[in-house]
């Protein structure tokens, strides 16, 4: 598990930006025998401005096992977010039909061509900075899903100007953090839980 900082891409892109996969491989190489082959591959991704847990596999059989768990949705995914506004209902489930359109997620109330179901459960509380802290369980994992679904309630995530936030956060970051994963250990089969503390910076408010 790696705690990805906001602003860092998970995998390489055509523009050669810094990325987490390269940093993980470099770290593993520094800790191994110089002649030892290094294998590392991320199981899933987070958006560049999002922080939090990213799982990596150091063996192909582990990669296959965990990839299957993500595909069958046996992995439980939890996030936390900050918004400047609160929804009318402070807890519940959001269900939409989701489609990626020109590097942005667009949501529909009814199924349209090329759309897929998107679902999450949330609860909202006021935190010490008089902002609204969201606890989210993500049931599906679609492109910009949480960002678009919260914005659909009139509650864009702090710093997420793409989805309507007028509030600044930190450079290259939005206030969304992947805080917990629960999955079956690929070797023992036992249920395993990983937690990662939320790094929200309240000094900016």
- One-letter-per-residue 3-state SS of 104-128: CEEEECCCCCCCEEEEEEEEEEECC
Task: Quickly state the pLDDT bin for 197 (edges 50, 70, 90).
Answer: confident
Token couple for 64:
């296959």
* pLDDT tens digits, one per residue of 52-111: 999 999 999 999 999 999 999 999 999 999 999 999 999 999 999 999 999 999 999 999
- Confidence at residue 202, expressed as pLDDT on a 0 to 100 scale: 63
For 157: left if phi > 0, alpha if psi spans -120 to 50, otherwise beta; the answer is beta
Total-model pTM: 0.93
Mean pLDDT, residues 154-174 taken together: 94
**What is the percent of the chain where pLDDT is above 70?**
97
Q: Is 149's pLDDT higher than 90?
A: yes
The rounded percent of the chain whose pLDDT value lies above 90 is 81
> Is it the case that residue 205 has pLDDT exceeding 60?
no
CB atoms within 10 A of CB 134: 25
Residue given tokens 């958006």 in the structure block: 47
CA distance 114 to 170: 34
Q: Would the pLDDT of 127 be above 70?
A: yes
Q: Does the structure show a pLDDT above 90 at 168?
A: no
Q: Where are the domains of the chain?
A: 2-204
Q: What is the mean pLDDT of residues 191-198?
A: 92
Distance, in Å, from the CA atom of 38 to the CA atom of 50, rounded to the nearest integer, reads 27
Mean pLDDT, residues 182-191: 93
**pLDDT of the residue at 16:** 81
Q: Which neighbouring-strand residues pair with 19?
A: 9
pLDDT band at 184 (very low <50, low <70, confident <90, very high): very high
pLDDT band at 152; cut points 50, 70, 90: very high
Give the pLDDT confidence of 14-54 residue by residue, as tens digits. 888 899 999 999 999 998 887 788 899 999 999 999 999 99
The yes-or-no verdict on residue 8 having pLDDT over 70 is yes
Q: Does domain 2-204 have CATH number 1.20.1300.10?
A: no
Mean pLDDT lowest among 93-97, 140-144, 167-171: 167-171
């Amino acid at each position: 598990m790696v705690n990805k900082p906001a602003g860092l891409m998970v995998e390489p892109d055509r523009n050669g930006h810094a990325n987490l996969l390269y940093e993980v491989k470099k770290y593993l190489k520094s800790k191994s025998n110089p002649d030892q082959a290094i294998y590392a591959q991320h199981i899933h991704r987070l958006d560049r401005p999002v922080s939090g847990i990213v799982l990596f596999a150091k063996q192909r059989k582990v990669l296959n096992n965990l990839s299957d768990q993500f595909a069958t949705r046996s992995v439980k995914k939890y996030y936390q977010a900050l918004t400047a506004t609160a929804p009318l209902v402070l807890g519940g489930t959001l269900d939409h039909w989701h489609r990626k359109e020109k590097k942005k997620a667009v949501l529909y109330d009814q199924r349209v061509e090329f759309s897929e179901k998107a679902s999450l459960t949330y609860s909202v509380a006021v935190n010490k900075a008089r902002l609204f802290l969201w606890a989210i369980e993500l049931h599906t994992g679609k492109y910009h899903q949480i960002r678009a679904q919260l914005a659909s309630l009139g509650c864009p995530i702090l710093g997420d100007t793409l989805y309507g936030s007028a509030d600044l956060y930190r450079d290259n970051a939005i206030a969304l953090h992947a805080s917990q994963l629960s999955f079956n250990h690929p070797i023992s089969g036992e249920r395993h839980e990983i937690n990662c503390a939320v790094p929200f910076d309240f000094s900016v408010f």
